[in-house]
Amino acid sequence: MAQLYYKYGAMNSGKSIEILKVAHNYEEQNKPVLIFTSALDHRDEVGYVSSRIGLRRQAIPITEDTDIYGIVNNHQPKPYCILVDECQFLSRKNIQQLVRIVDELDVPVMGFGLKNDFQNQLFEGSRYMLTYADKIEEMKTICWFCERKAIMNLRVKDGKPVYTGEQIVIGGNDTYFPVCRKCHTNPPL
Ligand SMILES: [Zn+2]
């Protein structure tokens, strides 16, 4: 039986490199995979999974209206695994399609994303991934400022922490830092 996996972690916890690694492992054995990502993430270009290590590859961008189930169902040959980056930006409707891919097509889906936003609210997409996933795994990384585990994302603008504003501001290493709870409250900036 296929399963729905959700692997969440703070910024820089290696989510994108894990997707590229898993895809490589399948493809090395001639087992095709399909890679999706949220169309909201344009840090590189829309429709790419990019790792800070430098590897990148094309992915199918997901919007609110993307028929993810149809794309997977019509794909020939049948994919062995579906990999989805930036799940925090997906809608409930998107995620219910991932569930159908697992339950009706018997294809495993591995979703990756951030759990909480910079104000420590659950992202909508994460809420539904945590609700529906068969297996949930934390991807660990260390706090940018100390030795503790990073469980939050600190938004920074002009060298100052930001605690209010829009939930979604797309940014990379200059905008967000993976931090522990203590450094989220009192970042040594
Ligand atoms: Zn810290």
Residue 103 phi, psi (nearest 5): -80, -35
- 18 C-alpha vs ligand 1 centroid, how far in Å? 24
- SS3 (DSSP) at 17: helix
CA of 15 to the centre of ligand 1 (A): 20
Phi, psi values for residue 36, rounded to 5°: -120, 160
* pLDDT tens per residue, range 13-25: 999 999 999 999 9
Assess whether pLDDT exceeds 90 at residue 43.
Answer: no
How close is the Cα of 59 to the center of ligand 1, in Å?
33
**Ligand 1: distance of its center to the CA of 161 in Å?**
14
Ranges of beta strands (E only) in 28-184 are 33-38, 48-50, 56-58, 60-62, 81-85, 109-113, 135-138, 152-157, 160-162, 176-179
Give the containing element (helix H, strand E) for 8: strand 4-8
What mean pLDDT comes out for the span 143-147? 97
Output the average pLDDT for the chain.
95
Greater pLDDT, 63 or 172: 63
Instruction: Tell me, in angstroms, the distance from the centre of ligand 1 to residue 188's CA.
Output: 9
- The CA distance from 154 to 75, in Å, is 39
The catalytic site residues sit at 86
At 166 the pLDDT is 92
- Its pTM surpasses 0.75: yes
The Cα–Cα gap between 159 and 156 comes to 6
